[in-house]
Amino acid sequence: MARWGLFVEETVGSGEGKHWEFELLGHADGTREEALRTLEETALAYRPRKPFKVRRSRLYRSGEGFVQVNEGVTTTYLCRFTVAELIRDSKDPKVAAMAEPWDRVPEGF
């Protein structure tokens, strides 16, 4: 059974200081489709850090996850939600045994 990381990338700050921040929200076990369903529930319940007062929020499905557009009084902020399959965990030997070692360099490099 696969384990999936549930991630959000969110625009924060303002003006020239506006930037993206990335956060692991949690994990989901099962198929990619099951992880995407869990991610959708997470995205629907998610409250962005910016704007402080959301006037309108729209959630879009993309091939890779979801995009949330949050309109504030003067600025629009975005959240991008994605899943990623866990292929190695240095603290969990079961996961590490399923993945290729990180220290291997592919031929030709």
Averaged pLDDT for residues 65-80: 93
Output the pTM of the full model: 0.79
- Determine the Cα–Cα distance for residues 75 and 44; give it in Å rounded to an integer: 21
Helices (H) and strands (E) in the chain, counts: 2, 5
User: 106 preceded by cis ω (within 30°)?
Assistant: no
E strand map for 1-109: 3-12, 19-29, 56-62, 65-71, 76-85
List, for residues 2-43, the tens digit of each pLDDT value. 999 999 999 888 888 889 999 999 999 999 999 999 999 999
Q: Is 101 exposed, middle or buried (0-12, 13-18, 19+ CB in 10 A)?
A: exposed
